[in-house]
Structure 1
Amino acid sequence: MLTVENKVIYSTLAELVDPQHTAVVVVDMQNDFCKPEGAFDRLGIDLTMYVPMIPRLERLLADARAAGVLIIYIKMTVLPGRRSESPAQLRFNMRLHLPSHPTSEPLLYTVEGTPGQEIIPELAPEAGDLIVQKYRSSGFWGTNLDLLLRSNAVETVVMTGCTTEGCVESTARDALFNDYYVVLPEDCVASDDPRQHEASLFLMRHRFDVATSDDILAIWQGVDKKTKRS
């Protein structure tokens, strides 16, 4: 740890991801984004990067639960009839996959109550996990995520999910702006565009602590069961 003006700062990965004050935030790992026959797959969007990432994230979540780390799922949500989407948001959706997948109308995905909105089966929430519905890119915007984190004495968020350059980075930035430490396991985030994925990781390495899932798991697997979060 470091001390600056009487303020204690976590300075090692082990300090940052201590299960006593850490939560894993799983962003948008939903059928419409990640699975064959989902909305993105039907558009011909490349989901190759998700194939190796999903098992790594599955393992991270299993070890997080074993260490007593809080897990919070974020679900992108569109209300039926697009009641949650403003004209500006609809315009944003039309630009999401330019120029590779031009569209004359906004993409429609993760509609509330549809199978496409659900978390993929491999990463299904378990008892004790929390779920937050969001309506914009950031998991903090217009949600109760900050309330849940503070109510559970969380200081560090381990950011995972998709897409790296979109909702993951947006949520990570807002986490910092809300005074949380941010740790990004770079092999537990994914995108349908490798160039944007790498560009986002390049930026986030200069702002947050970027590690691998193995780095984090090595710490959690050594946690004394007597001291883990109950």
Structure 2
Amino acid sequence: MIAIGRKTVFTELSELVDPRHTALVLVDMQRDFIDPDGAFGQLGIDLSMYDVSRPRTAELLTAARESEVLVVHIQNTALPERMSDSPAQLRFNMRMHEGATADGSPLLYTVPGTRGHEFAYEFLPKPGELVVRKYRSSGFWGTNLDLVLRSNGIETVVVAGCTTEGCIESTARDAMFNDYYVVIAEDCVGSDDSAQHDASMLLMRHRFDLATGSEIDNVWKTSEKERVGEHE
């Protein structure tokens, strides 16, 4: 850490992701996005990046639970009949998924009560883990995420999930705007567009701290050993 004026700034990964003040914010690991039989998979959208990021993200979730890190599951949600989508949001969705439908209409996915809205099996929340429903790209916009993080003394959010250039980057930016340290779990994020993923990662590398899931887990394990040693 370094001192800047009257402020102390975390600079080392061990400081940033100390489990005592860190939350794992797991974004949109839902069937419609990452399962082959979900809304995106049925349209033939390329989900191959998740073959790599998905198991690593599951490992990071397990590590967070073992180290008693606060876990928050962000659940993308769209109300039936597009009741949660303004005209501007619909146009945004049309641009985002241009060419995905024959008539150019925006995709409709992650509707409550559908299988696609559910979390994929390895990301099902456990009792006591918070689920935050969001209706826009950012996990902070119009939700209680900031309230929960502040109420639990969180200073750092580790962001993982999908999609990199969309909800990951949006959530990371809003976390920083709300004065949280942000660490992107770089091998635990994915997209259905490798070019956009790469562009987003390049941008985020110059704004946030990036670390692999294993690097983050190693800090958590070391912190756990130190806590155990203090009580022996």
With normalisation by structure 2, the TM-score equals: 0.94
Per-residue deviation at 1:220? 1.0
Taking the aligned partners of 1:206 and 1:5, their CA distance within structure 2 comes to 23
Q: Which stretches in structure 2 are left out of the alignment for 5+ residues?
A: none
Distance change in 2, residues 1:171/1:70 (3 Å) = same
Structural mapping, 1:1-230, within 5 Å: 1-98=1-98, 103-224=103-224, 227=227
Structure 1 Cα separation of the partners of residues 71 and 43 of structure 2: 31
Q: 1:2 to 1:119 in 2, by over 3 A?
A: same
CA contact (8 A) 2:97 2:107 kept: no
Q: Offset at 1:71?
A: 0.5
Q: What per-residue deviation string (whole Å, max 9, x for no partner) do you get for residues 52-82 of structure 1?
A: 2111111111111111100000001011111
Contact persistence 2:186–2:212 (CA under 8 A): yes
Deviations 1:107-137 (A, max 9, x none): 0000012111011001111122110000000
Please state how far the C-alpha of 1:100 moved relative to its aligned partner: 7.1
Counterpart of 1:135 in structure 2: which amino acid?
Y
Q: The residue matched to 1:202 in structure 2 has which SS?
A: helix
1:187 partner SS = strand
Are 1:67 and 1:225, in contact at CA under 8 Å, matched by a contact in 2?
A: no
* Amino acid of the structure 2 residue aligned with 1:112: P
User: Contact conserved, 1:165 with 1:200, CA < 8 A, in 2?
Assistant: yes
Letter in 2 for 1:107: L
Q: What is the CA–CA distance in structure 1 between the aligned matches of 2:136 and 2:107, rounded to whole Å?
A: 14
Which ranges in structure 1 are unaligned for 5 or more consecutive residues? none
Secondary structure of the corresponding residue to residue 173 of structure 1 = helix
**Residues 33-62 of structure 1: per-residue CA shift (max 9 Å, x gap):** 110110001111100001121111111111
Report the CA distance shift for 1:199/1:99 in structure 2 as closer, same or farther (over 3 A). farther
Q: In 1, Cα distance between the equivalents of 2:2 and 2:226?
A: 26
SS of the aligned residue for 2:128 comes to coil
Aligned residues: 228
Any conservation in 2 of the 1:160–1:188 contact (CA below 8 Å)?
yes
Task: Give the partner amino acid of 1:48.
Answer: S
Question: What root-mean-square deviation, in Å, do the aligned CA atoms of Structure 1 and Structure 2 show?
Answer: 1.5
Any idea what SS the aligned residue of 1:29 has?
A: coil
2:76–2:110 Cα contact (<8 Å) kept: yes
**Is the 2:43–2:100 Cα contact (8 Å) retained in structure 1?**
no
Query: Which whole-Å deviations, capped at 9, do the CAs of 1:166-206 have from their partners, x for residues lacking one?
Result: 00000000000000000011100000000000000000000
1:141-168 deviation per Cα after TM superposition (whole angstroms, max 9, x unaligned) = 1000100100111000000010000000
Distance 2:49 2:102 in 1: 21
Tell me how far 1:227 sits from its aligned partner. 3.9
Q: Is the 8 A contact 1:54 1:122 kept in 2?
A: no
2-side partners of 1:70 and 1:141: how far apart? 20
SS at 1:188's partner residue? strand
Whole-angstrom distance in 1 between the partners of 2:154 and 2:107: 35
- Shift of the 179–114 alpha-carbon distance from structure 1 to 2, 3 Å rule, reads same
> What is the identity, as a one-letter code, of the residue corresponding to 2:30?
Q
